[in-house]
Amino acid sequence: MQLCDETDEVLERFKMEFLNESRTCLLKKEVPKLTIGGIEIGPLQSGVQVDLPNWVIEILQEAGIAELLPAEAYESTRRLSNLHRMEMKDHELQTFHPLLYAAVSRKILKLQRDKTSIDPISLEETERLQSMMDALVEIRRSKVVRAAVARAYTEKRKKMTNEERWLCERLADLLSSWREKVLD
């Protein structure tokens, strides 16, 4: 089906956008001159903050060399919990980082892939993240649909994730086209 294929393609594009987005990380160890995927890093001292693409940060995290700054970790369990609480309280869309869903999806995938060191704490975090994502998607989906139906997309756009913007645009277009055809 065309819509399903298009959805998969669009969501993959957002995941790639997340991987190429730069964030600030803190180097926990001294970094000699490294070349990762054509990007040269270093030499840098321990304790230095540096902006790098997420895919590079993931490699450095796995090697125990870097960690995200707390302010940059918008996909953290604590931050998601706060977003969920705020979203439950208010009928309006709360402002989410445009790449939030892609970041959380990537974090869950990374936790699930590391089967060798899955301890109960990591397993619990994975389950909490998945549960919070399910709840957030359910709450926000109805708000996005209401925005599409009310044609309030432009004013709410800045509060949505990339996936929500795409969905809202598609729904608004589909509803508008449907309305025109029905009234013809």
104 shares a domain with 170:
yes
- Residue at 100 is within a domain: yes
Question: Could you tell me if 100 and 133 lie in one domain?
Answer: yes
Total domains in the fold of the chain: 2
pLDDT higher than 60, residue 80: yes
* Residue pLDDT, tens place only, 3-16: 566 888 999 999 99
Query: What pLDDT is recorded for position 1?
Result: 39
Looking up residue 92, the CATH number of its domain turns out to be 1.20.58.1030
What's the mean per-residue pLDDT of the chain?
Answer: 88
Note whether 95 and 101 are within 8 A (CB).
Answer: no
Average pLDDT over every residue of 44-51: 92
More confident residue, 120 or 23: 23
Record the pTM: 0.86
Q: What is the pLDDT of residue 118?
A: 57
Determine the distance from the C-alpha atom of residue 168 to the mean position of all C-alpha atoms in its chain, rounded to a whole number.
Answer: 17
Please indicate, yes or no, whether residues 67 and 26 belong to a single structural domain of this protein: yes
* Parent domain of 61: 20-73
Question: Which residue, of 41, 73, 105, is where some domain finishes?
Answer: 73
- 8 Å CB contact between 67 and 26: yes
Q: Which two tokens stand for residue 176?
A: 């508008």
pLDDT digits (tens, 9 = 90+) for 82-129: 999 999 998 889 999 999 999 999 998 888 876 555 566 677 888 889
Instruction: Report angle CA 69, 80, 90 to the nearest 5 degrees.
Output: 130
Whether 46 maps to a domain, the answer reads: yes
Q: Please report, rounded to a whole number, the percentage of residues in the chain having pLDDT higher than 70.
A: 93
